[in-house]
Amino acid sequence: MELASTPAQDGFYFPAEFARQEQVWLAWPERTDNWRNDAKPAQRAFADVANAIVKTVPVCVVISKWQAEYARQLLDDAISLEIMPYNDAWMRDIGPTILVNDQGERRGVSWQFNAWGGDYNGLYDYWEDDDQVAAAVCAKLGLDHYRAPFVLEGGAIHTDGQGTLYTTEECLLSPGRNPSMSKADIEQQLAEYLGIQKVIWLPNGLFNDETDGHVDNLLHVIAPGKVALTWTDNVRDPQYTLSREALRVLVNSTDARGRRIEVVKLPLPGPLYLSKEEAEGVIQSEGMNRTEGERLSGSYANFLMINHTVFMPLLDPITDRLAMQSLQDALPDYQIVGIPAREILLGGGNIHCITQQIPSGL
């Protein structure tokens, strides 16, 4: 049921990803203007992610009816399928953000979705089905939900579950999202719909990120007062300055509880570029340009944390091991699982972008 109140009015808040989780949802990729070679390589990569996660928690995959039979061949038998309309496979952005209260009850938030920029710079023209996915998932889960009165995607926000929200100015202040809202207006709405007390605004996301700088491709909150940040020491790389700007904000900020923020640096893979073969496998469209030599927005921060397991993308043999070790050192009681994820990156995101966790309830 869609509720007329707000989460803040009802005492609900956005829990941390490192809190206890009950389930993970994904959506099946099939757009031929985003996923190469009829999306078959991406489908295998998505299946690898889902099959790894289901060893930790139950997994559900949203899918179209004409893809279900083939997907069933690739997916673990323990994974459930839900047929519903959708436009592309970024469950982080189209799925619900699930909130909890102090009694362990859960409710969802359905953000307004406009394909990362609407008529201004959206990646595709028709997004009406994506905009309905969050409410449909909540219905499948038996959860009431709130319909937010503004545009937001799940990949644009990270939280510590203790009142602090991390985001980027590049994304939330982009002209294609909410041009009539000021920064103060957005902060007020984030407080109202996520139950948070403080927003830490980073200037920009990762270089050449077509989502206008989603925070989850730059940074990951891994514990209260502790974040993992994409980093490079290559002064010639455009990410060099962007990461230092983010670090400057982080080290000069305190979170909602007054803690200084500890920063763990994750190496930047590559730089990685789209190959000729990869580009030629995509049917070109106006919004999503996939051209040979394009810089890919690859990041190890785009991982998923589920119940003391980290599912991390493997993107570059030169830096994969270092990234995994950095996370293991920062999270010694976690299992770090690396999954080859270049095919997901080719579509514009990675493991965190294609998943949405469902927190445990009562």
Dihedral, CA of residue 194, residue 85, residue 305 and residue 59, to nearest 10:
130
Q: How many residues appear in the chain?
A: 362
Q: Which residues pair with 335 in a beta bridge?
A: 309
Neighbours of 289 (CB within 10 A): 13
Tokens 């939330």 sit on residue: 172
What three-state secondary structure class fits 38?
helix
Q: Which residues pair with 231 in a beta bridge?
A: 267
Q: What is the DSSP string of 162-222?
A: SSEEEEEHHHHT-TTT-TT--HHHHHHHHHHHH--SEEEEES--STT-TTT--GGGTEEEE
Catalytic residue list contains 138: no
**Which residue in the list 60, 138, 171, 353 is annotated as catalytic?**
353
**345 neighbors 313 (Cβ within 8 angstroms):** yes
Tokens 């889902």 sit on residue: 50
What three-state secondary structure class fits 255?
coil
Distance CA(86)–CA(28), nearest Å, equals 9
Closest CA to 299 of 357, 236, 341, 241: 341
Residues recognised as catalytic? 353
